[in-house]
Structure 1
Amino acid sequence: MANRLADETSPYLLQHAENPVDWWPWSPAAFEEARRRGVPVLLSVGYASCHWCHVMARESFEDEATAELLNAHFVAVKVDREERPDVDAVYMEAVQAATGQGGWPMTVFLTPDGEPFYFGTYFPPVPRHSMPAFQQVLEGVRAAWQDRRGEVTDVASRITRDLSERTIALGAGEPGPPGAEEMGAALLGLTREFDAAHGGFGGAPKFPPAMALEFLLRHHARTGSEGALQMVEATCEAMARGGIYDQLGGGFARYSVDAEWIVPHFEKMLYDNALLCRVYAHLWRSTGSEQARRVALETADFMVRELATSEGGFASALDADSDDGEGGHAEGAYYVWTPAQLAAALGPEDAAPAASAFGVTEEGTFEGGASVLQLPDTGEPLTDATRLDSARKRLFEARASRPRPARDDKVVTAWNGLAIAALAETGAYFDRDDLVDAARAAARLLADLHTHDEGRRLVRTSRDGAPGTSAGVLEDYADASEGYLALYAVTGEEEWLQRAGTLLDTVIDRFAAEDGTLYDTADDAERLIRRPQDPTDNAVPSGWNAAAGALLSYAAYTGEDRHRDVASRSLGVVRALASRAPRFIGWGLAVGEALLDGPREVAVLGTPPEVTPLHRAALLSAAPGAVVALGTPGESSVPLLRDRDLINGSPTAYVCHHFICTAPTTDPTPLTETMRA
């Protein structure tokens, strides 16, 4: 018999709709029920492609005895963290403060007023590795609530009070945005943490550092720092050769469990692939690397092939787990290979060289003697690239017959904004109009389905063409704007610039404080135990830094001081964190580089196809955060294009700082040289 989650649209919640647990979705009614019954709330937060969420569901939430205990003494609330990042952020902060770590599934016990008092993540069904069994936890919390309720509620009130006091303020005495000195300090900090042997930063588990790499590329473009570029090249090379990258189908897994990028956590997220597609495209733009071009295009093709929805948007993720073909369910089953499986797919003659090229061994690099495909750098030149390419295609076709990982097909506004930016730019760089069309289709879905109140407000998600009920958060407004601005730069279609401006006005009016502080939720959003805010980048750019970047770009197109001022003030936090935590403020540092460089504003006037060489030269500039406006003289409403004319009737480009321009040119070569200066 289905529970209340059967009426939800989130794939994660629907995974639990047949549980014997009497789940509630996050709602005022759930907490009112807890008050009526006089019981605490169990809050369980996860997401559809989360491996340990699936494990805990099988072990505990599908277990009748555990469900009976839960239903009798708690109101159980299930939340999709991707649908409600505000709820996740507030309670994850409490979990990390109390336990020193976090993760999913997140397990928090709350009073009926939503105040947390006991915390954890995954709990096993029996005591294991110093962790109590989940039923022991439930019995302990039930007993404490029944016998020492006053003590429990006092603890909950103190925790809530402490959380509510953790606000970030950038008062008048705070420093302004980061300058050259802070950028140098950030570069030094990243250099100290750089893994010279394997690329990336820090040790295991190792995450793709997309935002730090964007900062380093921009820093190299502004200063000529070879050290910055070398860290990007080494990291991108190592990831592209490693098991974290799908050597058959393109696209990146979430992270590597080891420091050498060999064994990934196999789930594939839209946001990782959007961010990394853009990094590799920008690396190609800076260096002309053939490997960077290949990986950017393969990752873009992966997103379109595997994650595109019938409505034009992009699904959130592919699971790490899948059916192993023998009645079991295992992580990585879709992706790993044994020598015998290679031989079955390729034949013995081709299997041996393929095993050598892809690092497949009898011992295996993963579990059960299986190996994750890599392209190890042996130091020897590849003698038969054609044969390897043929093997890759044949293995890809053979793999397609395996049971596929499940797909979380909800469309998240912010992550689609990141994908729009990546696909638009990659399509423009490599003359792939189909990728630009895919970006445009996703932008149209956001504009038509995710937007309401005359373009001013966003919903967080949609699924199967139906908008969700959760309000958009700051990252949704910021990343959608980033995507729209990138699409405008590539296409010259002014609708996208206008839509970005409307959303960014909402950011200023609803998410920003006078001193430049930004909040993750709007001032009229649902009230939680605190209003979340976080300037640090994690798996994606923080809403704070993404908003700063989009506001700065929009100001460069329009000359709007209001937007530039908010962006500049909000970057004060980047100045404070640049030397202390550069890995976790990478996008903020990248935006800071754009501010230091201007950013440069390029007005390109003319009509296709004559204007295309100038437009392409402008787009291929690596100048940090440069904006490109494309239009026809006298027909555009974009401020950067106003009062600018063609020279002798030929397509013309102007390079400007704060709308003050150098001499116009009709030749792509001097335009390129001016943008490099």
Structure 2
Amino acid sequence: MSKFTNRLSKESSPYLLQHAHNPVDWYPWGEEALNRARTENKPILVSIGYAACHWCHVMEKESFEDEATASFMNEHFINIKIDREERPDLDHIYMDAVQTMTGSGGWPLNAFLTPSGKPFYGGTYFPPRPVVNRPSWKDVLTGVNNAFREKRQAIEDQAENLTQHLLRSNEFGLEKITTLNIDPDTTFTREKAALMYTNIMKTADQEEGGFGRAPKFPQTFTIQFLLHHYYYTKKEDALKQACLSLDKMILGGIYDQLGGGFARYATDIAWLVPHFEKMLYDNALLVIVLSEAFQLTHNPLYERAIRQTLSFTEREMLSPEYGFYSALDADSEGEEGRYYVWDKQAIDAILGEEAALFCAFYDVREGGNWEHKNILNIKMPPEEFAAQHHLTLKDLWQRMDKCRGVLMQHRNRRIRPLLDDKQLLGWNALMNHAYCKAAGALGEDHYRQVAIRNMDFLLGRFQLPDGAFHHTYKDGVAKYPAFLDDYSYLIQALLQLQEVTGDVGYLYRAKTLTTYVLDNFSEPDTGFFYFTPTGQADIIVRKKEVYDGAVPSGNAVMAMNLYCLGIIFDVPGWRERSVQICALLQQTVSRYPGSFGVWATLIQGLTYTIPEIAIIGGNFAMLREDVLRRFIPIHVLQSAPSEPSNQDFPMLGQKPYSSGTAIYLCRNYACQLPVNEVDALVQLMGNV
């Protein structure tokens, strides 16, 4: 066994710490490892994953803990471990490279690089022994080592070609626009919005909800587009598909029926079997779209899911400083889902005479509904089940909630899944946005207060003296420069927090951050934004991400931010830039709206116009609460006790005096006559 030094024990990432006792000579990403690769002229193995990743755990146990495998890795490679959540910039680069080479991607991601950091080979999970269509990890290591020694020039050529491909991929999907004076009224047409809807519905599963086949992800951006499309067009099928998708998820096994909160995705088409990890961002995005669905439908099932999910978030994901942790692992006691599944006999013993009703409602069977265990899920709509059992819906939920509380007490005695307790700026901002949306939709002041305290934490712990922000925070230490997603989501959260509080201080912070993004992330030729800031030296390519992944496209969110802040502060150049980059992508978005859901939603909003709402004077706060409970797609909202004396906010200024509360509906500052009731505002909006 060769000597090795595993350098991960001093890292803060739970994922890296999981590998700190491997017999692999692991480095974190940094100059020490990169310099050694150049000095010793060795290939680099970059292995990327995250703490809640099931197959990352599997490969660690099978290969990285194996001394013979580790010895070969140590002798022939410079081995680097990366937490994809700490360094999404590196993950994007090497994931794109592996997907280009193999046609697929995922985690763990294992990429082989030249000593200069350019990728030339890679894949995802490799087993310890060959299986059908998948070589063993040892075979891969041997093959890469031999090729690097014997076919070096071919390796270098492959790496250079792949790097050039990564650079060219930044231009994917962009149209050539010959003028910067783009008129949104003629550029964004209702025909294009209808085409986006048609293309989305081609992938819709109209029986089980969602889009496409298994595995099924929530695809909240697509659901949000459909909710907005229904508002604009009154197409019932749009609303039906959006609600079917949400209903099936809430009633399915992807939703934690005992503790609240959603798993990352379902492995089957019926949402029964989740990949049991719970991610902060998924729950934030689902609360956001559930809040809009509740505003639109007033379905109590959505309110219930919002409240339970945020209760889970505060119970298990909230730090004493009011930062949100990143994730809960899928595994406990070395087994995926063990913490969440049940034997019928155990439930019978715990619940006694209530067990029969509970088991019938939550699909608990002898022998189990998944791998001899039971994943709690609801097969029959609760209203139908209650009627069959001669109960009111209220009585049914009361009895089930009592049972849930008893079973939660027992579940809490189990060994819990690992908590990934690092706090990421962007994911926290998404959850802040979710709390704001829930506060507005449900009229719940507690959610507003959590959002305020969380924003205080983000602004206090992540910001540097020069105005820049860090990306991640743990144990009192913030590190790594923030990325585009971090800034764009934070600006969006500040805009939302201003809506639910009326505090213009959040708008000034959003404006300052937007200026910072424009100065440090802009791609001048197109108006888009790079993922990484100017001057970052440890990446081979500055990526420009425009599509939605598991989280929204930072570029799409910045386009929305620029439009809204351009209205609020009357900065025409910001609005024009937003419209320009939407126009550059419109053709691609129309063809592939499922991959560009946030863009599709913004372009649809520009098509049907984005309203500007100002509430001034009198009972402005009470009327603001009423407006926030209504479903209004993309909009700009400001409220104030009286017209401000300064000229920073043209939406609030230069309005005729009113002794009561005046609500103005405007477009490009051209306002209709004010009304003093929210119902009248809604009627005005319907007539536009």
TM-score normalised to the size of structure 2? Answer: 0.93
- Shift in CA distance, 387/467, structure 1 to aligned 2, threshold 3 Å: same
1:41-96 Cα shifts (integer Å, max 9, x gaps): 00001111110011111111122111111111111011111111111111111101
1:292 maps to 2:302: yes
Displacement of 1:558: 1.9
Partner of 1:346: 351
1:582-609 Cα shifts (integer Å, max 9, x gaps): 11111111111222343211111236xx
Partner of 2:624: 615
**1:578 aligned counterpart, secondary structure:** helix
1:429-459 Cα shifts (integer Å, max 9, x gaps): 223222111111221122112122443x221
**1:380 aligned counterpart, secondary structure:** helix
For the Cα contact (< 8 Å) 2:590–2:600, is it kept in 1? no
Inter-partner Cα distance in structure 1 for 2:41 and 2:531: 32
For the Cα contact (< 8 Å) 2:620–2:641, is it kept in 1? no
Residue of structure 2 aligned with 1:330, choices 323, 331, 335: 335
Partner of 1:528: 539
For the Cα contact (< 8 Å) 2:621–2:639, is it kept in 1? no
Alignment of 1:648-659 (within 5 A): 648=659, 650-659=660-669
Residue of structure 2 aligned with 1:661, choices 668, 671, 688: 671
- Shift in CA distance, 419/517, structure 1 to aligned 2, threshold 3 Å: same
1:631 maps to 2:643: no
Displacement of 1:621: 3.5
Residue of structure 1 aligned with 2:606, choices 587, 595, 607: 595
Inter-partner Cα distance in structure 2 for 1:671 and 1:317: 41
Partner of 1:356: 360
Displacement of 1:645: 5.7
Q: Kindly provide the amino acid, as one letter, of the partner of residue 407 in structure 1.
A: L
Inter-partner Cα distance in structure 1 for 2:509 and 2:550: 26
1:419 maps to 2:431: yes
**2:96 aligned counterpart, secondary structure:** helix
Bigger shift: 580-589 or 104-113? 580-589
Which consecutive unaligned segments of at least 5 residues does structure 2 have? none
Inter-partner Cα distance in structure 1 for 2:327 and 2:312: 12
Partner of 2:208: 198
Inter-partner Cα distance in structure 1 for 2:505 and 2:292: 25
Inter-partner Cα distance in structure 2 for 1:220 and 1:138: 53
Residue of structure 2 aligned with 1:387, choices 381, 386, 399: 399
1:400 maps to 2:383: no
Inter-partner Cα distance in structure 2 for 1:552 and 1:296: 29
Displacement of 1:170: 4.9
RMSD (CA atoms): 1.9
1:80-124 Cα shifts (integer Å, max 9, x gaps): 111111111111111011101000000011011011111111111
Residue of structure 2 aligned with 1:537, choices 540, 545, 548: 548
**2:340 aligned counterpart, secondary structure:** coil
Residue of structure 2 aligned with 1:68, choices 71, 96, 108: 71
Inter-partner Cα distance in structure 1 for 2:667 and 2:282: 33
Identical amino acids, percent of aligned pairs: 38
For the Cα contact (< 8 Å) 2:167–2:543, is it kept in 1? no
Partner of 2:655: 644
Partner of 1:577: 588
1:120 maps to 2:126: no
For the Cα contact (< 8 Å) 2:530–2:542, is it kept in 1? yes
Inter-partner Cα distance in structure 1 for 2:248 and 2:637: 32
1:365 maps to 2:382: no
Partner of 1:131: 134
1:604 maps to 2:607: no
Residue of structure 2 aligned with 1:106, choices 109, 115, 118: 109
Displacement of 1:510: 2.3
Displacement of 1:629: 0.8
Displacement of 1:135: 1.5
Partner of 1:302: 312
Partner of 1:553: 564
Q: Kindly provide the amino acid, as one letter, of the partner of residue 158 in structure 1.
A: N
Partner of 2:100: 97
1:533-585 Cα shifts (integer Å, max 9, x gaps): 12111211111111112222222322211211121111124412233211111
For the Cα contact (< 8 Å) 2:292–2:441, is it kept in 1? no
For the Cα contact (< 8 Å) 2:176–2:584, is it kept in 1? no
Inter-partner Cα distance in structure 2 for 1:573 and 1:206: 30
For the Cα contact (< 8 Å) 1:552–1:567, is it kept in 2? yes
Inter-partner Cα distance in structure 2 for 1:165 and 1:509: 23
Displacement of 1:479: 0.6
For the Cα contact (< 8 Å) 1:617–1:672, is it kept in 2? no
For the Cα contact (< 8 Å) 2:214–2:269, is it kept in 1? yes
Displacement of 1:148: 2.1
Inter-partner Cα distance in structure 1 for 2:15 and 2:485: 21
For the Cα contact (< 8 Å) 1:519–1:531, is it kept in 2? yes
Displacement of 1:2: 7.1
Partner of 1:568: 579
Bigger shift: 72-81 or 551-560? 551-560
For the Cα contact (< 8 Å) 2:294–2:441, is it kept in 1? no
Inter-partner Cα distance in structure 2 for 1:77 and 1:322: 26
Inter-partner Cα distance in structure 2 for 1:536 and 1:475: 12
Inter-partner Cα distance in structure 1 for 2:320 and 2:456: 13
Residue of structure 2 aligned with 1:675, choices 659, 665, 685: 685
Bigger shift: 237-246 or 128-137? 128-137
1:400-456 Cα shifts (integer Å, max 9, x gaps): 11111111111111111111111012123223222111111221122112122443x
1:182 maps to 2:192: yes
Inter-partner Cα distance in structure 2 for 1:662 and 1:228: 30
Bigger shift: 92-101 or 397-406? 397-406
For the Cα contact (< 8 Å) 2:559–2:581, is it kept in 1? yes
Bigger shift: 631-640 or 483-492? 631-640
Partner of 1:451: 463
1:84 maps to 2:76: no
1:477 maps to 2:487: yes
Partner of 1:508: 518
**1:523 aligned counterpart, secondary structure:** coil
Displacement of 1:528: 2.1
Aligned length: 665
Partner of 1:18: 21
- Shift in CA distance, 296/574, structure 1 to aligned 2, threshold 3 Å: farther
**1:240 aligned counterpart, secondary structure:** helix
Inter-partner Cα distance in structure 2 for 1:223 and 1:564: 25
For the Cα contact (< 8 Å) 1:2–1:17, is it kept in 2? no
Which consecutive unaligned segments of at least 5 residues does structure 1 have? 324-328
1:203-233 Cα shifts (integer Å, max 9, x gaps): 1001001001111111222222222111111
For the Cα contact (< 8 Å) 2:602–2:634, is it kept in 1? yes
Q: Kindly provide the amino acid, as one letter, of the partner of residue 451 in structure 2.
A: A
Inter-partner Cα distance in structure 1 for 2:17 and 2:285: 28
Displacement of 1:635: 5.7
Inter-partner Cα distance in structure 2 for 1:224 and 1:346: 46
Inter-partner Cα distance in structure 2 for 1:154 and 1:669: 66
Partner of 1:318: 328
TM-score normalised to the size of structure 1? Answer: 0.95
